[in-house]
Amino acid sequence: MSSPPHIYVVTQARTRSHMLMKLLSTNPRLELQKPYVFAFCLVLGEGQEKIVSLEYSRGLYEQRDQLQQLCDREPELRKKHQAELEYFSELTKLTYQGELDSLQEFIAQATGENKTAVVESHAFGLVKPEILLAELGILPDRQRPLPIVNDRHLDNTSPDLVDHWPQSIPNPTILPDRMLPLFTPVILIRHPARSCASYLKMREKNHYLDFPIMVDFKWSRLIFDAYSAFYRSNPSTSAKTVIVVDSEKVVADPEGQMEKLGNLLGVDSSLFKYSWEAEVTSDDPAGNESALVILRDFLSDIKRSTGVLRQSGVSGPVDLDAEVKKWSKHAGENAGKQVKDFLESAMEDYEYLLKFIAEISTYTGETYGVQQIGDKTALGTMATFGLRENTRWTTILMAGDGFLPHLHVFRG
């Protein structure tokens, strides 16, 4: 069976996701969805019952209403804010059904153009609302009912071209089961201390944003584990593994990391570009696509950028105690405690995913027994592979044809 034709990039807030998507967009063989699947986390459609009343959604409604009231009081401001008002109008029409239809139509379009579709979502917006609500301690009797969403198969994907997602493996996402095998998943991570610090700076501008839902990697891990179980259950699957990317490594070595990512995705990495024209200038800080204030804040850097700003040393160790002290000094003891509690809970999922960072090209020789890889010896069987515990190497089982796995080796 051929490789899954499309790519799903699963991110969280402040993981440098805009940078990775910008890099992917420079490859002419890839087609990125614009805008990204957004209703999955906003659920703002006023024509149906609203579902997840996260602070994020409430804040957007409040921002829309405040802007409308301002323009009603001072009509001369309406022209200045017309783009924002129109953006809000479109945003509040988003529904689960509409966004699923849009995603499927986008896949069909990319396939028709012989391109690979690339979709990106923050993990918290991709998992099922009841999972988020349970984490928030909201019991089922307090949850609003989900709307009925029909899979209209607008992507026109033949069921014979992809593997079947078994019912025995729970699907944690809001996507239909049959769509998950359409994608090779890419999980983007960043050290929680750094993503937390970046997010809190934004939160100071947009205080209504939920925390730590938007920067916790437990949602990414749920998706990672589901796909991993799928691959283990189906040795003939063409996707080798869930790909995990450390964004800090990308900014330190963009060419090297994108070459490796391209190889894992089966994409010509020589087509990636590392410089580009800025989308906006200082005279047009918002740009035409991000009139909404919150999006402008989050997108301003990437829209002004002309390439990857390389940063050496960003993937080194982080002093968590120092981060807590910094935020306590900056925003008070309560903020420091919040950061401390978050980091203590977030590190487990981050370190779990970190074990699967892709670092080295693949090896596809003999598939059982003892294998020599460089100066390292891999010990394994037809079902599992492992490397000596005293080495700095981690291995991941890659399903090949039948029950014979391909072995990919990643530096730990």
User: What average pLDDT does the structure give for the chain?
Assistant: 71
At residue 395, the pLDDT reads 28
Q: Which two tokens stand for residue 109?
A: 């379009």
Per-residue pLDDT at 218 exceeds 60: yes
CA atoms of 185 and 9, how far apart (whole Å): 6
| Better-scored residue on pLDDT, 194 or 408 | 194
Strand pairing report for 116-122 and 30-32? parallel
Task: Give the DSSP H or E segment for 71.
Answer: helix 55-73
| Better-scored residue on pLDDT, 188 or 288 | 188
At residue 279, the pLDDT reads 72
CA torsion sign for 348, 353, 356, 360 is negative
Query: Other C-beta atoms within 10 Å of 57: how many?
Result: 19
Q: Which two tokens stand for residue 294?
A: 């919150």
CA atoms of 323 and 61, how far apart (whole Å): 33
At residue 384, the pLDDT reads 28
At residue 23, the pLDDT reads 92
- Token pair 């396939």 is at which residue? 111
Tens of pLDDT along 50-63? Answer: 444 444 455 566 77
The mean-pLDDT minimum among 6-10, 319-323, 356-360 falls in: 356-360
Degrees (nearest 5) of the Cα angle 147, 151, 157? 160
Per-residue pLDDT at 136 exceeds 60: yes
Tens of pLDDT along 16-54? Answer: 888 898 899 999 999 998 644 444 444 433 333 344 444
3-class secondary structure, 408: strand
Degrees (nearest 5) of the Cα angle 325, 330, 333? 60
At residue 376, the pLDDT reads 33
Tell me the domain boundaries of the chain: 6-354, 362-411
Sheet hosting strand 362-363, strand order edge to edge: 362-363, 406-411, 393-398
CA 160 to chain centre: 28
CA atoms of 265 and 75, how far apart (whole Å): 52
| Better-scored residue on pLDDT, 85 or 262 | 262
CATH classification number, 6-354, choose in 3.30.70, 2.20.28, 3.40.50, 3.40.1840: 3.40.50
Q: What are phi and psi of 408, to 5 degrees?
A: -105, 140
What confidence category does residue 234 fall into, taking pLDDT thresholds of 50, 70 and 90? Answer: confident
Tens of pLDDT along 380-395? Answer: 322 222 322 222 222 2
For the residues of 79-135, what is the DSSP string, one character each?
Answer: TTTHHHHHHHHHHTT--HHHHHHHHHHHHHHHHHTT-EEEEEEEHHHHB-HHHHHHH
Strand pairing report for 369-373 and 376-380? antiparallel
Query: For residue 189, what are the β-bridge partners?
Result: 246
Range with top average pLDDT, 63-77, 294-308, 323-337:
63-77
At residue 221, the pLDDT reads 95
At residue 4, the pLDDT reads 64
3-class secondary structure, 310: coil
Per-residue pLDDT at 295 exceeds 70: no
Provide the residue type at 410 as one letter.
F
Q: What average pLDDT does the segment 144-158 reach? A: 83
Per-residue pLDDT at 317 exceeds 60: yes
3-class secondary structure, 395: strand
Per-residue pLDDT at 104 exceeds 80: yes
